Amino acid sequence: MARRLLVAALAVAVTIATTMGSAGAEPPSWQPVPVPAQVRPQAGLNEAVALGPDRAWAVGADAVGREAPGFPLILRWDGSAWQRQSLPGIGWQGELLSIAATSPTAVWAVGRDSAGGAHLLRFDGIAWYESRPPRGVALTKVVAGGGETWLIGSRNGAQVLLRRHGNGWRDVPVPPGFVYGLHILAADDVWAAGATDSGATVSHWNGQTWRQTIVDGFPRSAVGSVLAVSPTEVWAGGTAGFVGGPPGRPIPPLLVRWDGQAWSRVAVPTDFGSISSLAPTTSGAPIWVSVARSQKWGPPGSYPPLVPGPDFLAWNGQSFTEYSEPAVAGEGDSRVFLLAPVPGTATVWSVGRADGPEGTFAARVLRFG
């Protein structure tokens, strides 16, 4: 009787240990998520936005030829798979560059056709349709936040910013230099990442004026992403710039942080590449940093001297945890990672384009958590 009890107890213990072991054995990592088969080669994704665990959007282009322009591409995540969104009213060729949403029924995308013309698409909860873009503006990005929707573009070569006002778009004053990215907290609380001739800049809009700071003065440094976690914690990422040859020499990434007093450079565990995206997750979960073309010095004396560096960095408040993208059969490495956090969760999407076979490129979707 005692022995039978012991055997039973042991069996239960082993079962519990195995279950716990299999559940806890694999730490979370970045996994590839299949792109729908209807996406035609060559394809690439430029940005994504997630509204919740069961709804996300990604934009880019597909059927891009060696010389021929492709077609605008929108993918929709429905909670279990990505689907290709049909766009019956969209007759132009080109690509969608950017997507942002203020709500599940107010999603905007910015595109450029093969003649260089700007396009603005809007999703109202039911369908995607063309919306009239601001006249004369070449659009590159749409950014949403705090109920606001802003557009980044240029007019006759000059930087412009516009914000949604009523049924139209209104120009907003621009900080000096270029603006590559925004983080919008409210109509009177907007951070901009960019660059001037003096280096990488981060600017803040208080509803009336811009206040600009040069966060790195190295020639040709620039930041393209900015993330304001709080008034005393703002991150910006980009490229550290370089002067001198040889041509093609990789450039170090730039990551800076505002602590309420000053901007300081944050060391990253990779030597070359550029910060392509910053993403917050829920409080308690890390801030994500993606690095495009990440490379670092290999062991001394090794050849080639540079080895692949981490593609994703998770900041836990103290240090970075490094992650590499998973291998995808038949494809090479990604060229860029655009992050889209899923609100209210620790899940993050990454979209971009990766090297395909025979010098082609392919759309890539990865997910963490």
Partner 1 sequence: MNGLRAFIVCLVVACAAVVSPVVVVSPAAAVPRSWSALPVPAAAPPVIVSDLAARGPGEAWATGYEYAADEWRPILYRWDGTTWSRDTTIPGAGEPGWLGKMQFVGEEMWILHSRAGVVEILRRSAGGWSAVPLPQELWTYQDFAAVPGAAWVIGEDDTGLKVLRYDGSGWTTQSTPDGVLYLMGITARTATDAWAWADTDTGTTVLRWDGTAWRDAKVSLPPNSNVHTIMLEPSGRVTIGGSRYTDGVARTYLMTGNGHAWHTTYPPLGDTDTEAMVRGPDGALWLPVRSDRAFQSRYARVDGLRTTFSYGPERTNAIDVKPRALARAGSSLLSFGTVEIYGSKPNLMSERLGG
* Chain contacts with partner 1 (rule: CB under 8 A): 40-42, 63-70, 93, 114, 330, 356-358, 360
Q: Are strands 210-216 and 233-239 parallel, antiparallel or unpaired?
A: unpaired
61 or 160: CB nearest partner 1 = 61
Q: How far is the CB of 40 from partner 1 (least distance, A)?
A: 7
Give yes or no for a cis peptide into 88 (omega within 30° of 0).
Answer: no
93 or 131: CB nearest partner 1 = 93
Phi, psi of 82 (to 5 degrees): -85, 135
Q: How far is the CB of 356 from partner 1 (least distance, A)?
A: 7
64 or 182: CB nearest partner 1 = 64
Looking at residue 246, the DSSP 8-state letter turns out to be S
3-class DSSP string for 41-103: CCCEEEEEEEEECCEEEEEEEECCCCCCCCEEEEEEECCCCEEECCCCCCCCCEEEEEEEEEE
Give yes or no for a contact between 120 and 169, defined as CB atoms under 8 angstroms apart: no
39 or 240: CB nearest partner 1 = 39
Q: Are strands 138-145 and 128-131 parallel, antiparallel or unpaired?
A: unpaired
C-alpha separations of 271 from 38, 185, 353 in Å? 38, 32, 22
42 or 270: CB nearest partner 1 = 42
Q: How far is the CB of 332 from partner 1 (least distance, A)?
A: 13
Q: How far is the CB of 67 from partner 1 (least distance, A)?
A: 7
Q: How far is the CB of 42 from partner 1 (least distance, A)?
A: 6
Measured between its terminal Cα atoms, the distance across the chain in Å is 46
Q: Please list the residues that pair with 123 across neighbouring strands.
A: 107, 128
C-alpha separations of 14 from 2, 3, 19, 25, 94 in Å? 18, 16, 8, 15, 58
Q: How far is the CB of 154 from partner 1 (least distance, A)?
A: 24
Q: How far is the CB of 363 from partner 1 (least distance, A)?
A: 12
Give yes or no for a contact between 97 and 142, defined as CB atoms under 8 angstroms apart: no
Q: CA nearest 144: which of 204, 185, 101?
A: 101
246 or 330: CB nearest partner 1 = 330
32 or 41: CB nearest partner 1 = 41
Reading the block at residue 92, the tokens are 């132009």
Looking at residue 1, the DSSP 8-state letter turns out to be -
114 or 264: CB nearest partner 1 = 114
Q: How far is the CB of 129 from partner 1 (least distance, A)?
A: 24
Sign of CA dihedral 120, 121, 124, 125: negative
